[in-house]
Structures are given as structure tokens and as C-alpha cells.
Amino acid sequence: MTTEERTVAFLQHVQGGGTVEATDWMPDEYRQRLIRFIEAHANSEIMGALPEREWIPRAPSLKRKLGLTAKVQDEVGHGQLLYRIVEDLGKPREQMLEDLIAGRTKFHNVFHYPTGTWADVGVIAWLVDGAAVISQGALLRTSYAPYGRIMKRVCWEEAFHLKHGEDICLTLAAGTSMQRAMLQEALTRWWGPIMMFHGPPTPPETDQDLRWRIKPKPNDTLRQEFLDHYVPQIWELGLTLPDPQLRKDSATGRWGYTEPDWGELREVIRGRGPASQVRLAFRRLTYEEGAWVRTAILGRSAAA
């Protein structure tokens, strides 16, 4: 078989629901797309730990501090699992960490924004993680089996993040008028970035990650699932969302909304978001401060 014939057979296999293992032959384009997709996911896990980490010392109670610490640990753990998958595809971890701090690779738009109040912590854990679980739940059926298997653990742990975040939001919603206002203010600020979370409504026929079934569902389908699940829950609390066009069409079952500013999304993920450079600087600092640990570990392995 020629490479082209192999590639056609491979594409039919993945499009027909077949899965791929690290040891299987795969077209180079598929491998490169997997690396880019999963590496960005891994970057998002460890960059996503940073905005929440800022609130561990300021958590309002010991219980919240424990919950938040556990969540931050989970996110870093997910980063570990995902970087491992990419290492098996051929990209060394050191290279990934260096590409991230040099701004050569991307992480999710929502982690480029500042976390101004404790209510942000609740909104992130409930709704940003909520949006993430919609994507990650779909990824259980990715064509790349090692990625799908890891998603089982990730989704299981994320279930706690959502409930922990919802609990923070419900407590604030039932609190003083100041707490309620703080929650509303955080929700209003986060709604724009959350609506961009699943990406622009790329036509499925031109979305290459969809073609190789690296991701099983189109961006806009994920956003519709998110809105369907969370908007009624938000409105039920008497909170408002800053989009006058947001409503469900009872005939089609689809949510209408004001088109997000996709130009802002492109700028933000290129490292020009309000907190992009601060976060990357912190990641760089941590990487440099941890250099002695890596040296010690490698010294140990050289001696072994």
C-alpha cells in the first residue's frame, strides 16, 4: 500500500468510529494535529491552575481553602496526564514547557483574564469548568484512544470542581446584598469569555480536528449543550446574563445569542489578553525556580 492509500484507509477507519493507539501507524498530519490539540489542552490545565491558586491564601474558610487546593492539584494532575499523552506522540515535555513560556503554543482564552474577587473563583469552577466538561465529555469518544481513556479520570475529577463552584455561587447568591452583587458582577464579566470558550462556529466540513475525529463534536454544538444545561440554572437564581438576545427558540430548540467578538478571542489566545503576560511571567518564574529540581532528578538518574 502507498502512503496515500494507507491515509485514505486510516481516515475511513477513524471516521467510521475506529480508534487509534500510540503504537499504530498514523498519518503525519494526524499526529501533528493530535500534538497541537492535546498540548494546548495540557497547557490550559496548568495555566488554569494559576488564576485559582491566587485565591488559596484568601479563601474565606478552611473548608473552601481545602476544596480550592484540591481543585488546583487536580488541574496540575490533568496537565501531567495530558503531557504524557503528547510525549508518547513524540514531543518532549521540556520542549512543551519551553514553548508555552515563550508564547509559541496556546492555552485556553478564559485563563488570560484576571480573577478580581472570590466570586470569580465560584464562577470559574462552576461555569468555566462546566463548559470544559461539555468538551471533555465529548472527548471520551475521540479517535485517539489514549486521550479518551485519560478523559474518564479527568471528567470524574471535574465533577467535584463543578459542584464545588456551584456551592460557592449558591452560598453567595443566598448571602448579603453585597455578596449577591459580587456574584452578579463576576458573572457579567465572565460571560463574554465563557461564550467564546468553545471557539468560533467553524463549519464542520472545514474543521480538520473534526475530520480526523480528534474532537467528536463541532464547536457550536458544544456551546448549545452548555447553554441548554447552564442558562436555566443561572436564571433560576435570579441572576442576569449580559446578553439581551440570549433565549431559546422553542420551535428549533436552539439558543440564540449575540455573536461573540471573535477578534477578541484571536487576540487573547495570541497572548494579548488582560492577564496573559502576567500569567506567562509567573509560569516562567516557576519554571526557572524549579530548574534545580530537574537537575537533581536528572543527576539521580545519571548516577543510577
Q: Are 100 and 107 in contact (CB under 8 A)?
A: yes
Q: Which residues pair with 144 in a beta bridge?
A: 20
What's the Cα-to-Cα distance from 268 to each of 29, 138, 171, 199, rounded to whole Å? Answer: 26, 25, 31, 12
Which listed range, 49-57, 80-88, 98-106, 270-278, lies at the site for another protein (CB under 8 A)? 80-88
* Nearest-approach distance from CB 28 to another protein, in angstroms: 14
Nearest residue to 19 (alpha-carbon basis) of 187, 102, 142, 173: 142
Alpha-carbon distance 77 to 87, whole Å?
15
Minimum Å gap between C-beta 110 and another protein is 24
Q: CB-wise, 20 or 169, nearer to another protein?
A: 20
Min dist. Cβ of residue 60 to another protein (A): 23
Write phi, then psi, for 255 (nearest 5 degrees).
Answer: -85, 135
> Which of 54, 56, 77, 98: binder of another protein (CB under 8 A)?
77
Binding mask 8-47 for another protein (x = CB under 8 A): -xx-xxx---xxxxxxxx----------------------
**Residues with Cβ within 8 Å of residue 103, at least 6 apart in sequence:** 271, 280
Q: Is 247 in the site for another protein (CB under 8 A)?
A: no
Residues that bind another protein (CB under 8 A): 1, 6, 9-10, 12-14, 18-25, 70, 73-74, 77, 80-81, 84, 87-88, 90, 92-94, 149-150, 153, 157, 297-298, 300-302, 304
